[in-house]
Amino acid sequence: MLVLSRREGELIYIGIPQGDGSYQMVEIKVVSIRAANVSVGITAPQEYVIHRQEVWEEIEQEGGLARRV
């Protein structure tokens, strides 16, 4: 696991190589920090599936994404 420290307003980029020298990028931004809560914003290609852990676990218990799509 890579652990990064970021301040409010700072970004993290995750790139997936596309084979032609370009990258498909996911941008994660620390939107706000209040006490023990950190709000993040995620910008990703539309075909990416993004869920909170508890939502993902519920989807998996119901048979995964294949049934829901």
Q: pTM higher than 0.85, yes or no?
A: no
Q: Hey, which residues does 24 pair with through a beta bridge?
A: 16
The predicted-structure confidence for 6-43, as pLDDT tens digits, reads as follows 999 999 999 999 999 999 999 999 999 999 999 999 99
Is the Cβ–Cβ distance between 30 and 42 less than 8 Å?
no
Given a cut of 80, whether residue 53 has pLDDT beyond it is: yes
Q: What angle do CA 26, 18, 28 make, to 5 degrees?
A: 5
Residue closest to 30 by CA, chosen among 10, 15, 44: 10
pLDDT tier at 62 (50, 70, 90 boundaries)? confident
